[in-house]
Amino acid sequence: MLTIMAEAADTMQVAEVTDLYAAVGWSAYTRDERSLMRALAGSHRIVTARDAGRLVGLARSISDGETIVYIQDVLVRPEVQRLGIGRRLIATLLQTYEGIRQQVLLTDTEVRQRKFYEALGFTEAHEMRPELRAFVRLR
């Protein structure tokens, strides 16, 4: 049975978290497990998807709780993708932020991701009216 719920970082096991991140190929996160768990602990909100207790999805946000929210990670195990889990994770995550004007995320250029986020009402920054610019610096 699939459950989607808010969850605190300290209730999640390191192994299940790193296994989920590794399953979607996010190796930059799994190189330092303690750093990943500190990042989760520093999140404003975490929503998980569990199937019979197994962690199969996660979305988290960084926010001031008033004016802006960054959707930082959205992960769903490959074998259960395209079943609506990602959509449910984001919907549950954003319930807390319905009144917040700036809802922002940064992702790579995979075509499926663009279609997914557009279906949820997101628009690429350069396509907004009035025009917006998005800047990022990766190290």
The residues near 46 (Cβ < 8 Å, ≥ 6 apart) are 6, 7, 8, 9, 40, 58, 59, 60, 61
Beta bridge partners of 3: 50
Encoded tokens for 40: 């989760």
pLDDT 10s digits, 64-87: 999 999 999 999 999 999 999 999
The residues near 43 (Cβ < 8 Å, ≥ 6 apart) are 9, 60, 61, 62, 72
User: How far separated are the first and last CA of the chain, in Å rounded?
Assistant: 40
pLDDT 10s digits, 23-33: 999 988 899 99
Encoded tokens for 84: 């609506």
Per the CB < 8 A criterion, the answer to whether 67 and 100 are in contact is: yes
Q: Which of 31-40, 53-62, 127-136 has the lowest mean pLDDT?
A: 127-136
Entry pTM: 0.91
111: exposed, middle or buried (Cβ count in 10 Å: 0-12, 13-18, 19+)? exposed
Query: Strands 68-76 and 102-105, how do they pair?
Result: parallel
